[in-house]
Amino acid sequence: MADASHPAERAVVLLSGGLDSYTAAALVRAEGHALFALTVRYGQVHAQEMAAARRVAAALGVERHQELSVDLAALGGSALTGDGAVPKDRELDGDGIPPTYVPARNTVLLSLALAWAEVLGAGALVIGVNAVDYSGYPDCRPEYIAAFERLAALATKAGVEGGRFRIHAPLLAMTKADIIRRGQAVGLDYGITLSCYDPAPAGAPCRRCDSCRLRARGFADAGLVDPLDLR
Amino acid sequence: MADASHPAERAVVLLSGGLDSYTAAALVRAEGHALFALTVRYGQVHAQEMAAARRVAAALGVERHQELSVDLAALGGSALTGDGAVPKDRELDGDGIPPTYVPARNTVLLSLALAWAEVLGAGALVIGVNAVDYSGYPDCRPEYIAAFERLAALATKAGVEGGRFRIHAPLLAMTKADIIRRGQAVGLDYGITLSCYDPAPAGAPCRRCDSCRLRARGFADAGLVDPLDLR
């Protein structure tokens, strides 16, 4: 943790309200970073994600929680922003990229995080992507994260003046079960999170979309009970 | 130009309403691309830029003109989004990066263009940056553009499936005078554009900000008269 003589390095964390970004943020906080949470409404069909993000930001005790809107739904091209139905009961671990892929989403999110990081003087960006138990999205892979880090150095005043932006993706090589075990071990309450792509209006998860099913499999593999199942 | 047997490759062009993006779009259109214009309101202090972008899109005869909003002003850090005054009568060609720099702006703009390009099946992104007579922004340099192109291949479903996004920055190595000569030679009406960082409420340019002064110097060096000066 930071002490008064060495102020904590600031980190901008992309916080979605799901369990991955919550866990990634907690791990980076444990390394001594001061957290600045950024939640982007990009036209997801469900607004409950924002309520979950606010709960998570409060639980993490972030320095600040900034919300931004950008209407990717206007561009179309994803079931996650209302263009077609969210698939249910789909085979997990298939080869294809599913219709819930949002074109260039993580590039948009990281570019906004980079903009805020530069303003804040933050040297770290945190994203909860993982490339093991994931949905096959291209912008969750290690080579993508490395390419964004190279871009960030050239994209910014801070970068060309010799500063550096590091992208922290601490979950990249973890399975969903690893993530859940690790988070519960440090006391995270996953009961405040929302992973579902298609929740009921009151926020209850559908339990049939890829995200719900990956989450259920993760808890099962970890030998733990999802607190959402106790409600 | 495209013929019926070979449909034109689609290009997403970032259109600001200024003369650079207008010229870049016209040059790419002349190569046979079908233009899809994207104008992003990112919290510029002046809204007249949007009106100018609409005039330019109409003059170019684009297939579609999409407007998107993302409130970078909420993040602060730039005179261009209301954080401090736009500098006037500043020495041009200085070394520093001026306060009108918007943190990570071109990364945000290109990421949104990339998102739309992927949805449209467009292989080209067009941006009117130039690295000769410019304001010293890091994200207008050739190495930055090349890094974004590399990122785009890894960031998208289209990219990982073997497609490619090419960033067209046809003005990159041109002086402002070259740009103006070239544009006027192909009949572009710069009287519909707006370059000023700090226009009067009715849209009249201030003539004292960096952007106005670079434009004036460009017309003078080209030996041409700015149509805005005739009004």
Asked if A150 and B147 come within 8 Å (Cβ–Cβ), the reply is yes
Q: Is residue A228 domain-resident?
A: no
Asked if A151 and B156 come within 8 Å (Cβ–Cβ), the reply is no
Quote the pTM value.
Answer: 0.93
Q: Is residue A92 domain-resident?
A: yes
Amino acid identity, residue A225? V
Q: Is residue B3 domain-resident?
A: no
- Secondary structure of chain A in HEC code, one letter for each residue: CCECCECCCEEEEECCCCHHHHHHHHHHHHCCCEEEEEEEECCCCCCHHHHHHHHHHHHHCCCEEEEEEECHHHHCCCHHHCCCCCCCCCCCCCCCCCCCCCCCHHHHHHHHHHHHHHHHCCCEEECCCCCCCCCCCHHHCHHHHHHHHHHHHHHCHHHHCCCCCEEECCCCCCCHHHHHHHHHHCCCCHHHCCCCCCCCCCCCCCCCCHHHHHHHHHHHHHCCCCHHHHC
Q: Is residue B214 domain-resident?
A: yes
Q: Which residues of A touch B (CB under 8 A)?
A: 66, 68-72, 74-77, 97, 101-108, 110-112, 114-116, 118-119, 138-139, 141, 143-144, 147-148, 150-152, 154-157, 159-161
How buried is residue A176: exposed, middle or buried, by Cβ count under 10 Å (0-12/13-18/19+)? buried
- Cβ-Cβ pairs closer than 8 A, A with B, add up to 147
Asked if A107 and B111 come within 8 Å (Cβ–Cβ), the reply is yes
Residues of A in contact with B80 (CB under 8 A): none
Q: Token pair of A48, please?
A: 């409950």
DSSP 8-state symbol, B197: S
User: In angstroms, how far is the first alpha carbon of chain A from the final one?
Assistant: 34
Q: Output the CA–CA distances (angstroms, integers) from residue A179 to A39, B67, B105, in the order listed.
A: 21, 39, 33
- Domain of B77: which CATH number? 3.40.50.620
Tokens 């907690």 correspond to A26
Distance in angstroms (rounded) separating the CA atoms of residues A52 and A60 = 12
Q: Token pair of B227, please?
A: 């149509």
Residues of A in contact with B161 (CB under 8 A): 97
Across the interface, of B119, B141, B157, the residue whose CB is closest to A75 is B119
- pLDDT at res. A75: 92
Distance in angstroms (rounded) separating the CA atoms of residues B116 and B126 = 12
Which of B12, B111, B125 is the best mutation test for A, with the most CBs of A within 10 A? B111
Q: Which residues of B touch A (CB under 8 A)?
A: 66, 68-72, 74-77, 97, 101-108, 110-112, 114-116, 118-119, 138-139, 141, 143-144, 147-148, 150-152, 154-157, 159-161
- The answer to whether residues A169 and A139 touch, using CB atoms and an 8 Å cutoff, is no
User: What range does the domain containing B117 cover?
Assistant: 10-224
- pLDDT at res. A122: 96
Asked if A155 and B147 come within 8 Å (Cβ–Cβ), the reply is yes
Distance in angstroms (rounded) separating the CA atoms of residues A79 and A151 = 29
Backbone dihedral angles phi then psi of residue A72, each to the nearest 5 degrees: -65, -20
Distance in angstroms (rounded) separating the CA atoms of residues A117 and A123 = 7
Q: What is the pLDDT of residues B14-59, one digit of tens each?
A: 999 999 999 999 999 999 999 999 999 998 767 788 999 999 999 9
Q: How far is A92 from chain B (nearest CA, A)?
A: 18
What are the percentages of helix, strand and coil residues in chain B, rounded to 5? 45, 10, 45
Distance in angstroms (rounded) separating the CA atoms of residues A17 and A48 = 9
Amino acid identity, residue B51? A
Reduced to 3 states (helix: H, G, I; strand: E, B; else coil), residue B34 is strand
Q: What is the pLDDT of residues A31-84, one digit of tens each?
A: 999 999 999 999 876 778 899 999 999 999 999 999 999 989 899 888 888 888
Q: What is the ipTM of this complex?
A: 0.92
User: In angstroms, how far is the first alpha carbon of chain B from the final one?
Assistant: 34
Question: For A112, which residue in chain B has the nearest alpha carbon?
Answer: B108
Across the interface, of B75, B157, B160, the residue whose CB is closest to A115 is B75
Residues in CB range of A93: below 8 A, 6 or more apart = none
Tokens 């819930």 correspond to A100
Total length of chain A? 231
Which of B71, B157, B164, B165 is the best mutation test for A, with the most CBs of A within 10 A? B157
Q: What is the pLDDT of residues A173-191, one digit of tens each?
A: 999 999 999 999 999 999 9
Q: Is residue A211 domain-resident?
A: yes
Dihedral class, residue A76 (left if φ above 0, else alpha if ψ from -120 to 50, else beta): left
Q: Is residue B2 domain-resident?
A: no
Residues of A in contact with B66 (CB under 8 A): 74-75
- The answer to whether residues A90 and A99 touch, using CB atoms and an 8 Å cutoff, is no
Q: Is residue B96 domain-resident?
A: yes
Checking if the pLDDT of A134 tops 80, the result is no
Number of domains in chain A: 1
- pLDDT at res. A5: 59
Across the interface, of A70, A106, A114, the residue whose CB is closest to B107 is A114
Q: Token pair of A33, please?
A: 């970073």
Checking if the pLDDT of A10 tops 70, the result is yes
Q: What is the pLDDT of residues A201-222, one digit of tens each?
A: 888 999 999 999 999 999 999 9
Distance in angstroms (rounded) separating the CA atoms of residues A80 and A143 = 24
Distance in angstroms (rounded) separating the CA atoms of residues A211 and A18 = 10
Asked if A75 and B68 come within 8 Å (Cβ–Cβ), the reply is yes
Give the number of other CB atoms < 10 A from CB of residue A2: 11
- pLDDT at res. B161: 86
Series of mean pLDDT values for 10-residue runs along chain B (231 residues): 66 96 97 97 82 97 96 89 87 80 93 96 95 78 94 90 92 95 96 93 90 95 95 73
Q: Is residue A27 domain-resident?
A: yes
Which of B127, B156, B164, B165 is the best mutation test for A, with the most CBs of A within 10 A? B156
